[in-house]
Amino acid sequence: MNLGTPFKKSATKVMLLGSGELGKEVAIELTRLGVEVHACDSYPNAPAMQVAQYAHVFDMLDARWLKTYISEIKPDYIVPEVEAIATSELITAEENGIKVVPSAKAVNLTMNREGIRRLAAEELGLKTSKYIFAETEDEFNKAVNEIGLPCFVKPIMSSSGKGQSCISSFPKIGSAWKKAQSEGRAGAGKVIVEECIDFDYEITFLTVRHKNGTTFLRPIGHRQVDGDYVESWQPQKMSTVAWIRAKKIAEKITNALGGYGVFGVEMFVKGDIVYFSEVSPRPHDTGLVTIISQDQSEFELHAKALLGLPIHKINYPQFKSAASVVVKPIGDSSDIQYSNLDEALNETDVKLRLFGKQNIKGKRRMGVVVALDEDVRKALEKAKKVIDKIEITL
């Protein structure tokens, strides 16, 4: 394994497709290893662009633009961080010898909910909620009636809760369809209608595939609001039976996808019953808690794994639990300021990450606080205490 020098002919180049807060952390870890990072996104000054050596602004769903930039950059690795990508060009890039992380197959399957759900439920036989895909409003109405209420509707291409609705009564069907069509990452199109499972808790089972095998991190519990993560904690308490079942699900789905890197496998747990929900072939937003909960964060693990570097034992703080809580203000501004940070951070075992996002319109995740304490409840309380003291001027 050889790594070159940035800006030189020998440079090891990573093309990061999507430059949000998770991509920013990955870019930081890659630059620490002397990798030349090219951060790409559809808008300028995205978080990862602020730390990468190069920034490129273009529509990653446009195959012509993506092909052009791949030809110009000539990356050794392509690392997707978002779903909205012309995946056909990634398949071509891989055929031309460029390493797509974790693999072009994995990225192609997970870019939309249909591909990954059919793989999990119909090919691998994993336990999932009942679901129906619908392309037209008539098909959607029939699907809702067949699944029954309450149920969820989601665009097959979206993230962070965009376009997602919980339908609790039939009069809400029309508005749910319109929301899914207007907020999908790739525009209007097919949706998935899912059964609403009565679960005890939901987890992210971070799984790392690397040259030495597969490493499973401690389960992360999390809470979502409108389909978007607002807090997470590690470890999530589980029964031994549920943990073994979750591990088997994570192993099956990541083995089927292949390649090296971090996978965020989302599951619902009811007693000892575990349901597969979704998988992201990249670091997961709920995994921001690993910035403080482990000696190697999910971002460091992803950087090492994709480069083919060895991963050994992961250490956790003794007698401590960890939590993350997002900084998510509401407003409309293109110049955000944060103050009273000296008072807010006057706590032990806490870290603040401000993502550097340039603007906000409505609600937006602008940062995260992670904390350690003797149990999850106290860690969450500590993180929230810090956020309550941060003053945000919009």
Catalytic residues: 159, 161, 266, 278, 285-286, 365
Q: Are 257 and 102 in contact (CB under 8 A)?
A: yes
Residue with tokens 């575990």: 274
Cis peptide before 102 (omega within 30 of 0): yes
Partners of residue 351 on adjacent β-strands: 370
CA distance 310 to 378: 34
Cis peptide before 44 (omega within 30 of 0): no
Phi/psi at 252 (nearest 5 deg)? -65, -45
- C-alpha angle 276-278-284 in degrees, rounded to nearest 5: 120
- Which residue type sits at 9? K
Instruction: Give burial (CB, 10 Å; 0-12/13-18/19+) of 114.
Output: middle
- Which residue type sits at 357? K
Q: Which of 207, 234, 220, 368 is nearest to 302 (CA)?
A: 207
